[in-house]
Amino acid sequence: MNERGRALRQLSLRAAPWIGAIVLWYGVRASGLVSASLIPAPHQVAAKFIELLLHEGLLFDIYISTRRVFLGVALGILAAVPAGFLLGWYRPARTVANPMINFFRALPPIALIPLVIVYFGVDETAKLVILFYAAFFAGVIVMYEGVAQITPLYVRVAQTLGATEFEIFRKVIIPLTVPHILTALRVALGVAWATLVASELIAAQRGLGAMIQNASTYFLLDVIYVGIICIGCIALIMDLILRKISARLLVWQERAVG
């Protein structure tokens, strides 16, 4: 198979699930199992998307929500990486902190909204706190589980070769933790997008979550579908970008294995 044929095959395989989902969407709507008034057709949602994009400031809502998620995840990962490293590398710290980490990780962010409003008000800070909370606990779990699985053999080999503590940390420990940092970032990003609607319950005027909430008040199902699809698409694009970055940063792993 030539290069063009392989590219077409890859494109077909990637497009097949999306085409299948659209066909299923039309099928459920036409089947009569659910009232057609409760399921807007894909072409109706597409038309509403264009209308919102051109006349209702959808692009600004996308920007606002993306900025909130980006800031929340950035702050959450900045805190989660050193915390997860300490918990993963030092067993006593993990033994002490693990129950509390799991306790807070199990709490849904939406349950904290009343307290967040009391302590941080209803401004942008409150929304970032919710996203920070979600990103931090998702990231710290992935980080410390990954670091805990790093074998000490590499450190012992470096010590045998005469490496200093600083050299071991810079040339051995940091490269070994990079894959876990990137994985923690991807997981935190997904959790933050899933938490977006909850964060924008806090008196948000703009943003995709706020748009969905306002649309639900007036039973605007096509707008709700647009908001949901936008969130999923943006999260997918950001994840694909992270995967590309990870592939470039971790190319040394493939060489080492090869």
Is the pLDDT confidence value at 253 over 90?
A: no
Token reading at 188 = 């935190």
CB 136 within 8 A of CB 105: no
* pLDDT confidence of residue 195: 87
Could you tell me what percentage of the chain is helix, strand and coil, using 3-state DSSP and rounding each to the nearest 5? 85, 0, 15
Q: What is the pLDDT of residues 164-177, one digit of tens each?
A: 777 777 777 788 88
pLDDT at 45: 94
What is the average per-residue pLDDT within 204-231? 90
Residues 139, 189: Cα–Cα separation, whole Å: 9
Each residue's pLDDT tens digit, 20-55: 999 998 898 888 888 888 889 999 999 999 999 998
What is the average per-residue pLDDT within 3-12? 76
CA distance 76 to 79: 5
Query: Both tokens of residue 215?
Result: 């649309």
pLDDT of 257 reads 44
- Cβ atoms of 192 and 72 within 8 Å: the answer is yes
> Token digits for 135?
């990103």
- Mean pLDDT score across all residues of the chain: 85
Rounded percentage of the chain residues whose pLDDT exceeds 70 = 96
Contact by Cβ (8 Å): 178, 248: no
Task: Give the pLDDT mean for 131-160.
Answer: 84
Q: What is the pLDDT of residue 136?
A: 93
Token readout for 210 is: 């706020």
In the prediction, which pLDDT does 151 show? Answer: 76
- Mean pLDDT over residues 4-20, rounded? 82
Query: pTM for the whole thing?
Result: 0.84
Write out the two tokens for 15: 């497009």
Across the range 12-19, mean pLDDT stands at 85
Residue 255 gets the label, from left (phi > 0), alpha (psi -120 to 50) or beta, of: alpha
Q: What mean pLDDT do residues 226-249 have?
A: 89
Q: Is the pLDDT of residue 1 over 80?
A: no
And the tokens for 38?
A: 């409760």
Task: Tell which wins on pLDDT, 251 or 60.
Answer: 60
